[in-house]
Amino acid sequence: MEELPPTLQVSTRSEETHLYFLRGDGIESKDIPGVAELRTGDRYVVGPGSYASNGSGDEWGKYTVEEPREIAKHTLDDLPPELRPKKETKEKKSVTSTVGG
């Protein structure tokens, strides 16, 4: 994936890194399993200072700030191609009518 603009970085309880951005126009949620999760709209994110479990509740960890930066605004141009919305193509429909009888 391409380089992203510098922004707030947070380490998760599972030692992964989350990058936080302010959403720009036209950006929608999208997941690429094992690579990235882009969360917008009604999808939640866990912020730094939060404690979370692994789902079964037997292992807890804290989300901690890794890179204390201002949260950058994301635009469609900043997104790697894999996370950009697919462009919809409009197909022209031909309508045939007959008159008479």
Answer whether 0.95 is exceeded by the pTM: no
Q: CB neighbours of 17 closer than 8 A, spacing ≥ 6? A: 9, 10, 11, 66
C-alpha angle 68-70-72 in degrees, rounded to nearest 5: 125
Positions of E strands within the chain: 8-11, 17-22, 30-32, 36-38, 51-53, 60-62, 64-67, 72-73
pLDDT per residue as tens, the chain (101 positions) = 557 788 899 998 888 888 888 888 888 888 878 777 778 777 778 888 888 887 777 778 888 999 889 988 888 888 888 888 776 544 444 444 445 54
